[in-house]
Amino acid sequence: MPVILLLFAACLIAQPSKFSPAVAQRDDVKKALAFIDAHFDAQVAEWIKITEIPGPSGHESVRAAYIKGEVEKAGLTVSIDASGNVEARRKGSGGGPTVVFAAHMDTVFPAGTDVHVTRTPDGRLHAPGVGDNSASVANLLQAIRAIREANLNTKGDILYLFTVQEEVGLKGMYAWLERNPKVADLLVGLDGALGPVNYGALGIYWSRMKFTAPGAHTNRSKGAPNPVLAAAHCITEIYSVPAPGDSVYNAGGMMTAGNVVNAVPQEVTFTVDLRTVDKQLLASLDDAIVSKCDAAARAQKVTFAREWIQKSEAGGRPEQLEDRRRHPIVQTGIDVLRYLRIPLIKGSEAVATGSTDANVGVVNGIPSISVGRAHGGANHTLREWADIASARLGAKQIILLAAALTEP
Ligand SMILES: [Zn+2]
């Protein structure tokens, strides 16, 4: 009896999935997967090529032009919207959901960064942006070719989307969803390391706190309103604000002040990066931080203003997102990763967080996940690296997700 009970319990907690190993055994799917294996060297060569095209946020047009050309070669009509997002729709046979696959084209590195790729004997590529998110762009391009070559049977349409300005507040995806509110039935963001599946949205507020006063020569500065003191007190006070749960903040990541020794500056600024998945907590922590700044400014008789750098809304705490966790898109993502033997941490196969283009889908109520591209590390630094072999799985994952998710 305990065995039956256990089985019963397992059935109760099993999450619905659209993937089974039988999907991977379909002739068309096998053919598409075989394409990835047969052309992996070309995929890696293109990955290097894409990485070496500079793509700072807001300056993705050279990458976009390259991608457009390649997707057109794969027989699709490609358009670039007013924001610079590249999109192409592959029609299905009908009766299934439209699945959007989105890979962001931009990198965090400014123009002039050396983006030359080096390949080391340990099977790694090294360059700023090689993982985030050039690997996903290369994976998606190769998956597009494989899906065409195998004439993959899909009922739903697949929408291939390469977005701009993900790194500066998911701007490209926000703009795309605003223009195309009813297009995506399901959304898969391609970003991050391989495993786990993200189905939530980490809220991220970036602010610039600005303190201003008339300034003063050192000789006349005794008792003068001092924006430096206001900012200094404010930062000290901010760090007294408790950050419960997953919430975290960082004040002073960037700071500006005066540029001479012998004057109290007219303007001092510092940034605050505040993050949590909890909508209410995000708002209340933001309020607390801003009121610390207000109080510090009043005490020093200087003017305070907050400027927004970016504002990405939170999806909710895990318990608030239980219905999202139960949507088959999440378990499908996990099952595909498992099928490809990508290591997952038990109990954390799916996490209600994420800071990718998929967040925009989550906060707009579209069933959305983000899945990774390759193993790697040191993202957003000049030491960024990526493991070559795992990108093969990154590309195969897209094919398996496309086959499974486009089913009704
Ligand atoms: Zn990214």
Is residue 92 domain-shared with residue 111, that is, in the same domain?
Answer: yes
Distance CA 291, CA 43 (A): 51
Q: Is the same domain home to 170 and 281?
A: no
Domain of 97: which CATH number?
A: 3.40.630.10
Q: How far is the CA of 196 from the centre of ligand 1 (A)?
A: 15
Residue 240 and residue 106 share a domain: no
How much is the pLDDT for 13? 61
Whether the per-residue pLDDT at 143 is higher than 60: the answer is: yes
Q: Which of 312, 347, 377 is the last residue of a domain?
A: 312
Residue 222 has pLDDT above 70, yes or no: yes
The CA-to-CA distance between both ends of the chain, in Å, stands at 37
Do 297 and 150 fall into the same domain? Answer: no
Residue 9 resides in a domain: no
Q: Taking all residues of the chain, what is their mean pLDDT, rounded to a whole number?
A: 95
Return the closest-CA partner of residue 86 out of 158, 143, 175, 162: 162
8 Å CB contact between 145 and 69? no
> 97 C-alpha vs ligand 1 centroid, how far in Å?
26
- CA 56 to ligand 1 center in whole angstroms: 12
Q: Of 297, 312, 327, which closes a domain?
A: 312
- In order, the DSSP letters of 138-199 are HHHHHHHHHHHHTT---SS-EEEEEES-GGGTSHHHHHHHHH-TTT-SEEEEE-SSS--EE-
| HEC readout, 245-292 | CCCEEEEEEEEECCCCCCEECCEEEEEEEEEECCHHHHHHHHHHHHHH
What are residue 299's phi and psi, to 5 degrees?
A: -60, -35
Residue 197 and residue 86 share a domain: yes
Dist. CA 54 → ligand 1 center (Å) = 15
299 is a domain residue: yes
244 and 376 housed in the same domain: no
Q: How far is the CA of 170 from the centre of ligand 1 (A)?
A: 10
**What domain count does the chain have?**
2
Task: Tell me how far the alpha carbon of residue 201 lies from the centroid of ligand 1, in angstroms.
Answer: 14
Assess if residue 236 is contained within a domain. Answer: yes
From the CA of 260, how far away is ligand 1's center (Å)?
38
Using the mean position of ligand 1's atoms as its centre, give its distance from the Cα of residue 50 in Å.
15
| Strand, helix or coil for residue 372 | coil
Task: Give the bridge partners for 181, in sequence order.
Answer: none
Q: In what order do the strands lie in the sheet with 267-276?
A: 248-256, 267-276, 203-212, 303-312
358 CA distance to ligand 1 middle (Å): 11
Q: What is the structure's pLDDT at 14?
A: 76
> Is residue 332 located within the same domain as residue 356?
yes
Minimum mean pLDDT among 31-35, 49-53, 123-127, 340-344: which range? 340-344
Cα-to-chain-centroid distance, residue 229:
37
Does 7 map to a domain? no
Residue 32 CA to ligand 1 centre (angstroms): 26
Domain, as residue range, for 273: 203-312
With 60 as the cut, is the pLDDT of residue 12 above it?
no
Task: Output the CA 134–ligand 1 centroid distance in Å.
Answer: 9
User: Ligand 1 centre and the CA of 166: distance in Å?
Assistant: 7
Q: Are 287 and 173 within one domain?
A: no
Say whether both 303 and 338 belong to one domain. Answer: no
How far is it, in rounded angstroms, from Cα 272 to Cα 62?
32
The string of pLDDT tens digits covering residues 258-280 is 999 999 999 999 999 999 999 99
Which of 312, 328, 351 is a domain's end point?
312
| Gap from CA of 126 to ligand 1 centroid (Å) | 16
Q: How far is the centre of ligand 1, averaged over its atoms, from the C-alpha of 198 (Å)?
A: 13
Task: Return all residues near 91 (Cβ < 8 A) that are at least 6 apart.
Answer: 157
* Count of beta carbons in the 10 Å neighbourhood of residue 391: 27
Q: Is 157 contained in some domain?
A: yes
- Cα of 191 to ligand 1 centre, how many Å? 5
CA of 356 to the centre of ligand 1 (A): 6
Distance 283 CA to ligand 1 centre (A): 25
* Ligand 1 centre distance from Cα of residue 323 (Å): 26
How many angstroms is it from 85 CA to the middle of ligand 1? 15
Domain annotation covers residue 8 = no
Q: What is the pLDDT of residue 67?
A: 98
Cα–ligand 1 centroid distance for 89 (angstroms):
23
Same domain, yes or no, for 288 and 181?
A: no
Residue 78 in tokens: 């490609």
Whether residue 2 is contained in a domain is answered as: no
Give the span between the Cα atoms of 83 and 214, in whole angstroms: 40
Tokens of 325: 């966790």
Q: In the prediction, which pLDDT does 15 show?
A: 86
pLDDT at 1 over 80: no
Model confidence at 319, pLDDT cuts 50, 70, 90, reads confident
pLDDT of residue 366: 96
Calculate how far, in angstroms, residue 64's C-alpha sits from the geometric centre of ligand 1.
Answer: 16
Q: What is the 3-state secondary structure (H, E, C) of 70-119?
A: HHHHCCCCEEECCCCCEEEEECCCCCCCCEEEEEECCECCCCCCCCCCEE
Give yes or no: residues 301 and 321 share one domain.
no
Rounded distance from Cα 365 to ligand 1 centre (Å): 21
247 domain-assigned: yes
Q: Write out pLDDT tens, residues 191-211.
A: 999 989 999 999 999 999 999
Torsion angle of C-alpha atoms 27, 31, 32, 38, degrees rounded to 10: 160
Rounded distance between C-alpha atoms, residue 397 and residue 344, angstroms: 14
How far is 208 from 204, CA to CA, in rounded Å?
13
Cα–Cα distance measured from residue 256 to residue 271, given in angstroms and rounded to the nearest whole number: 9
CA 154 / ligand 1 centre spacing (Å): 28
CATH number at residue 235: 3.30.70.360
Instruction: Tell me: do 176 and 229 sit in the same domain.
Output: no
Please name the residue that has the structure tokens 């391609």.
190
Of the pLDDT bands very low, low, confident and very high (cuts 50, 70, 90), residue 9 is very low
Quick one: average pLDDT of 128-139?
98
313's torsion region: left (phi>0), alpha (psi -120 to 50) or beta? beta
Spacing, Cα 165 to ligand 1 middle (Å): 10
